[in-house]
Amino acid sequence: MADSFPDFYHQKTDAELLFLVAHPEHYQPSLIDEARRELGRRGVPLPAPASPAAPPAVDERAARTISPTLLIVAALLVVGLGIGYWVKGPNAPAPPAPLAAPRKGPPRLTEVVTSVVPNYDGVVAKVVEQQLRRVPAAERAAATQAHQPLHQYRELVKRFWAAETQTEYVLEEARKGQPNAALPGHVEAVGATWRQWNKATVYSYKFGPAMADHLDLMMRVAQQQQEGLADLLLVANNPQAYENDKTRRRAADVSDLLSGLLPKSPVTGRPYKPMVRHIRL
C-alpha cells in the first residue's frame, strides 16, 4: 500500500492530461512531461506532434544563371521606363493617398469560471491523529507491536478523509444553490480521490475491535458520499436544485455515521449529529 496520498497527476482524468499535453504552450515543460508519463503509465496513446511545414519548392530552372543577353535587355527596359516616367511625370496626376486601414477595437474578453477544490492535506494529517486517539490505548499498543496493522489503519484513515473533506466542500457549495461551470470538474476530481480509497478497501485487514468498527463506518460513509456525488454530477450537467428529501436523508445518515469517528466536521466546523432512535417496547 502506498505511504502517501496520490499526487496531482494521478487524480487527473485522461481527458485532462491529454488537454495538458495538447497545449504545451500554456504550461511549464515539467507539467507536460509529468502528464505524458502519467498517460504512458495508463496506456493512453499520446497525441502526435504537429508535423513541420514542408519547405517551399525551388524551381531549378529559375535558379540557373541568367544569360548576359537577358541582363542587357532587362537593363534597357528599366532605363526606358525611367525616361518615360521622367518625361511624363510633371503632367501625370498624383496617385491617390492610400486609405488608412480601420483600427480594430480591443478583443472582447469572455469570462471563464475557473476554480479548484481546496487542498486539505494539513487538515487530514491532524484528523488522522485525532481519530487514532479514539482507539483504546491497549489496541494501539498491540497494533504498534505488529507494525503493519497500525500503518494500514493510518493509511486508510488518511485516504478516507482526503476524499471526505473534498466531498463536504463540494456538497456544501452545491447546497448554497450557486452551481457554476467548474462544478462537473470538481465532482470528477473528488471522484478520483474516492477511487484511491476504493482501491485500498479491496484487501482484508486484521484490526482490533475499535479499528475494525472505524473501518466499517468509513466504508458506509464512502458508499453514501459517492452516491451523492453521482447525483450531484447529474445536477451539474443539467442545472437544477440539488437539495431534496433524498439528499437531506443522506446527509443525516452520513452525519450520524461520522459522529462515530469525529465530533465535528473539519471542513464546516459543524458538529456531526448522531441520530436519536426511539424504540417502543
Is residue 90 in a domain?
no
> What is the chain's length?
281
Model's pTM, two decimal places?
0.60
* Shared-domain flag, residues 13 and 151: no
* Shared-domain flag, residues 261 and 122: yes
* Shared-domain flag, residues 179 and 264: yes
The domain in which residue 248 lies consists of 118-281
Is residue 183 in a domain?
yes
Overall domain count for the chain:
2
Determine the pLDDT at residue 4: 39
The 8-class DSSP code of residue 25 comes to G
Residues 230-274 have pLDDT tens digits of 999 888 888 777 889 999 999 999 999 999 999 999 999 999 999
* Per-chain mean pLDDT for the chain: 79
Q: Which residues contact 263 (CB under 8 A, 6 or more apart)?
A: 271, 272
* Shared-domain flag, residues 165 and 29: no
* Shared-domain flag, residues 134 and 250: yes
Residue 107 has pLDDT above 60, yes or no: no
* Shared-domain flag, residues 166 and 272: yes
Determine the pLDDT at residue 150: 94
Determine the pLDDT at residue 42: 81
* Shared-domain flag, residues 213 and 134: yes
- Please tell me the least confidently modeled range out of 41-55, 112-126, 196-210, 262-276: 41-55
Measured distance CA(165)–CA(120) in Å, rounded: 7
Is residue 243 in a domain?
yes
* Shared-domain flag, residues 259 and 129: yes
